[in-house]
Chain A
Amino acid sequence: MSIAIEANNLVKKYGEVTALAGLSLQVEEGTVFGLLGPNGAGKTTAVRVLTTLLTPDSGSATVAGVDVINDPEHAREIMGLSGQNASVDENLTGIENLVMLGRLFRLPKKEAVMKANDLLERFSLTDASKRIVKTYSGGMRRRLDLAASLIANPNILFLDEPTTGLDPRSRLMMWDVIQNLVNEGTTVLLTTQYLEEADQLANKIAVIDKGKVIAQGTADELKTQVGGERIDVVVSQAQASQAAVALQSMASGKVVVEGEHVQAPVSGGGVKVVEAVRALDMAKIEIKEIQLRRPTLDDVFLSLTGHHAEEVKVEDETVATKKGRK
């Protein structure tokens, strides 16, 4: 297996805010790599550096062996990018957008029109092809944007939060589209805030926090590290620490107490809920609420870093304003 995307020790600072703090990753050809992290973790910055839109302060990166920092023109010919804010022209129709981009990819006119029609059909946009993009729904825009990034049949595709802000149905449709691309042999690096999405699509996941990869592996490996599912119990605040002790023996990881909430990572599914109820009952603790749920990004963060994913959001706003001022 050869390496399609490689980043070595990428650093990027915006004033005092560090967006990338020595990010390294390797993506094998023909696989899907998920970059998982909350807002402001540095996902978008990483994608922008890898797609030549941003020059890092230090570090190196290659795409299909081409140096993205020293040979950006060549690198751009190899990859496609579908960004977070759909980068299509709102005042043009769907077909006009794709033909324009095909022409800018230096396809002959006839070829560009053919390609545009193919892509519109493939992404179920044929009916809307002559409508101005302003009138498109969020999901349609995203699909058009993805179509736009496929004009030149790139072997390597970067998708920055491809489903953020989409309704569940559009999200499933998008997953389908991405899966099809992968089946055709495209290497995909996607960023996401949803563990579920990374789980669905990615062969390998890197969890990123404060501009650094803090954990890496397959979805299963990560989940094992995080401890599978969670049992959430709500009890009175006075009994919370007692409840934690009672649950610790059956938990697969450290039980966390927050106010009235007690969280125990478990593996084994529904049976564990019964065990938990029994254990709490034995300890004479009154259960207000109990539920079993799959781990979220927040859980991954909590178990990997000891802090909530949301905490980073504050910094994200600083990054955003700094960028805005530039």
Chain B
Amino acid sequence: MNSRSMTEQYASKHGKIYWLFHDSSVIAWRNLLRFRRNPEVLFFDVVQPIIFILLFAFVFGGAIDVGDSSYRSFLIPGIFVQTIAFAGASAAIGLNADMNSGIIDRFKSLPMNTTGVLLGQNLADLVRSVITLFIMSLTGLAIGWRISGGFANAVFAYLLLLAFGFSMAWIGSTIGLSVSSPQVASTAGFAWLFPLTFLSNAFVPTETLPTWLRFFAEWNPITSIVAATRYLFGYPIQVSPDAPFSLQHPIITTIIWLVVITAIFMPLAGKKFRKATSR
């Protein structure tokens, strides 16, 4: 009973926002411990990004003509974006696994901030994304990719990629909380990502696409962030003057996309989470 009153004393010292971050960091720590013990995660975070870089660079590298620059410099930012986007699926699978175990009841029966469970999970995924980006960058550098846009721009590019991963994780969270089993979460978490990442400028220039697909690809958030990171990493991009706003101003478009996606899916996931119970 004394521990209880102590808790209250301790708790009242800080405000709501403090506790949200406190709770999130505890959950993030828990998720990182889980990742460390799961060999599958190691594969997704380390092996898969390397395979992606090598596969695209050597298999498609010679076949796709992107003009005067080498396909590898064109390609690497695209693979970064695709891999980070796939992290959203990991949020879907992880949250769904929690929903299907009793642990969610435990969290919900605590006087903690329930948003902390989601935020903590997504922060842990962010740490994974940092690792993934680091490994992919090393692999890229090893096969001839170079950062030539300056240090500050490169840092900005990485931050943009992480922010993108964070907003995708909220879409993943919403999916994970909406489906019944981890298997469905895995399928549903990935299914929409394939058309989204391939119907963009990530692997091919959008100019080659038929008109109706081209419109979709030009306004696809993936295209914006790929164009933005290409620019920031110093890949020379020629934008024709009649290109749409999204291609003329990829950085602003990307930021708008990230804010809009997070603003929609963060509260939506929170609402789903509060309504959901363990199954």
Q: Which residues of A contact B (CB under 8 A)?
A: 48, 51-54, 73-74, 76-77, 79-81, 83-92, 96, 100-101, 103-108, 111, 115, 132, 148, 152-155, 323-326
Stretch at the interface among B98-106, B157-165, B247-255: B98-106
CA of A152 to CA of B1 in the docked complex: distance in angstroms?
A: 8
Q: Are A85 and B26 in contact (CB under 8 A)?
A: no
18 of the cross-chain contacts (CB-CB < 8 Å) are A77-B7, A81-B109, A100-B29, A101-B110, A104-B23, A104-B26, A104-B27, A104-B116, A106-B11, A106-B19, A106-B111, A107-B3, A107-B6, A108-B10, A132-B37, A155-B1, A323-B279, A324-B279
List the A side residues contacting B10 at CB < 8 Å: 106-108
List the B side residues contacting A115 at CB < 8 Å: 3
Given the known interface contacts A87-B103, A100-B26, A103-B26, the answer about A111 and B111 at a Cβ–Cβ threshold of 8 Å is no
Q: Are B180 and A77 in contact (CB under 8 A)?
A: no
Q: Are B102 and A87 in contact (CB under 8 A)?
A: yes
List the B side residues contacting A53 at CB < 8 Å: 105, 108-109, 277
Q: Are A48 and B34 in contact (CB under 8 A)?
A: no
Interface of A is mostly: loop
CA of A76 to CA of B34 in the docked complex: distance in angstroms?
A: 27
Question: How many A-B contacts if CB must be within 8 Å?
Answer: 104
Q: Assuming A79-B109, A105-B7, A106-B111, what are 5 further A-B pairs, CB within 8 angstroms?
A: A80-B109, A91-B34, A91-B37, A108-B10, A154-B4
Please report the total number of B residues contacting A with Cβ < 8 Å: 37
Q: Are A89 and B34 in contact (CB under 8 A)?
A: yes
Given the known interface contacts A48-B277, A101-B110, A324-B279, the answer about A152 and B30 at a Cβ–Cβ threshold of 8 Å is no
CA of A92 to CA of B110 in the docked complex: distance in angstroms?
A: 18
CA of A323 to CA of B101 in the docked complex: distance in angstroms?
A: 14
> Which residue of chain B has its CB nearest to the CB of A48?
B277
Interface string of B25-40 (1 = CB under 8 A from A): 0110110011001100
List the B side residues contacting A154 at CB < 8 Å: 4
What's the minimum C-beta distance from A83 to chain B, rounded to whole angstroms? 5
Closest 5 A-B residue pairs measured CB to CB?
Answer: A87-B102, A87-B106, A85-B102, A91-B34, A103-B26
List the B side residues contacting A79 at CB < 8 Å: 109
> Which residue of chain A has its CB nearest to the CB of B7?
A106
What's the minimum C-beta distance from B253 to chain A, rounded to whole angstroms? 38
Q: Are A148 and B7 in contact (CB under 8 A)?
A: no
CA of A205 to CA of B148 in the docked complex: distance in angstroms?
A: 76
What's the minimum C-beta distance from B136 to chain A, rounded to whole angstroms? 26
Given the known interface contacts A91-B38, A115-B3, A152-B4, the answer about A76 and B30 at a Cβ–Cβ threshold of 8 Å is no
